[in-house]
Homo-oligomer: A and B are copies of this chain.
Amino acid sequence: LSKDIDYQSVLSEIHNEIAPLIGGGKVANYIPPLAEVPSEKFGMALQCTEGESFSIADGGERFSIQSISKLFALTLAYRHAGASIWERVGREPSGTPFNSLVQLEYEKGIPRNPFINAGALVISDIILGLATDPQNSFLGFLREQSGSSSIKVDEATLRAEKATGHRNRALANLLKDFDNLEHPVEDVLDFYFFQCSVKMNCQELASTCLYLANQGDSPHAGKVISARKAKRINAVMLTCGTYDAAGDFAYRVGLPGKSGVGGGIVAIVPDLMSLCVWSPALNSSGNSYVGTKALELFTTKTHLSIF
């Protein structure tokens, strides 16, 4: 039974077993604030619905959450706008990386899911229409769910994202051309880059995700969304959460998860716990190389795969 597992020992075992893998993969280098993070960093944290929490190694060190932010943006848009969001963004896996732009063109400006950049831009546009101060609403949500009021954006990352975001700017303009952005392109991009530039640590991320492991209701921070919506977000995470490796991640790890190019991955064990692992070097799909392996070891050791 899952109650009988000594999770701290499991984390220790994982920490030992991933040690030889440190050095594999490649840290994202498109902006200096990501490129400068030491590749040997590794942290992992668990937050159980019943209250216990566990952390190891660099589990308390903050990193750039990057695309993990798409999970929280989806939650906020879905909470307030409901199923109407699916008129503007799909919930199907995206196929080959090659297809990002052609897919958008072929499907007339409807991004395949909220976790590819085009879809996250649409979600950003939706949030701009819902919140009077979207940046503060977004930060407020993270601070409230994690219980950590010092969470904030890294300004150097934000500046670098804006300066190099030509491809996201291309996507946003194409969405605008298809009439799937209501707000000015630059406003949408500003909010999108803002979300990506937040820094959090594994403990904070595990805590923030707990509502997804607990029927939409965080034991420590209250009701976020309905149980039905929480399950559905988990389903979208499983099929679309890890770029073009969603199938491989489901196969290896067997949990809904969402990754970011900062090297973080959050994952959910429904009705039991939320997890976060961090190691900055990425595999060829853009997911943390060591992080993916650590989660695979976790489900192998605990038999907590949803399958």
- By a beta-carbon cutoff of 8 Å, the part of chain A in contact with chain B is 90-96, 98-103, 105-107, 112-113, 166-167, 169-174, 176-177, 185, 230-232, 234-236, 238-240, 244-248, 250-251, 254, 256, 270, 305-307
Q: Are A91 and B166 in contact (CB under 8 A)?
A: no
Q: Are A174 and B185 in contact (CB under 8 A)?
A: no
Q: Are A306 and B96 in contact (CB under 8 A)?
A: no
A254–B270 Cα distance when bound, in Å, is 12
Q: Would you give the shortest CB distance from A227 to chain B, in whole angstroms?
A: 8
A113–B246 Cα distance when bound, in Å, is 12
Q: Are A92 and B239 in contact (CB under 8 A)?
A: no
Query: Ordered nearest first, which 3 A-B pairs have the shortest CB separation?
Result: A95-B95, A93-B93, A170-B173
Q: A235-B251, A251-B232 are in contact. Are A103 and B95 (CB under 8 A)?
A: yes
Which of A169, A234, A250 has the most chain B CB within a 10 Å cutoff? A250
A102–B185 Cα distance when bound, in Å, is 22
Q: Would you give the shortest CB distance from A79 to chain B, in whole angstroms?
A: 16
A100–B96 Cα distance when bound, in Å, is 11
A240–B239 Cα distance when bound, in Å, is 9
Which of A96, A171, A176 has the most chain B CB within a 10 Å cutoff? A96
A256–B101 Cα distance when bound, in Å, is 29
Q: Are A107 and B113 in contact (CB under 8 A)?
A: no
A12–B59 Cα distance when bound, in Å, is 50
A232–B176 Cα distance when bound, in Å, is 37
Q: Are B236 and A251 in contact (CB under 8 A)?
A: yes
Q: Which B residues lie within 8 Å of A307 (CB)?
A: 230-232, 234-235, 238, 256, 270, 306
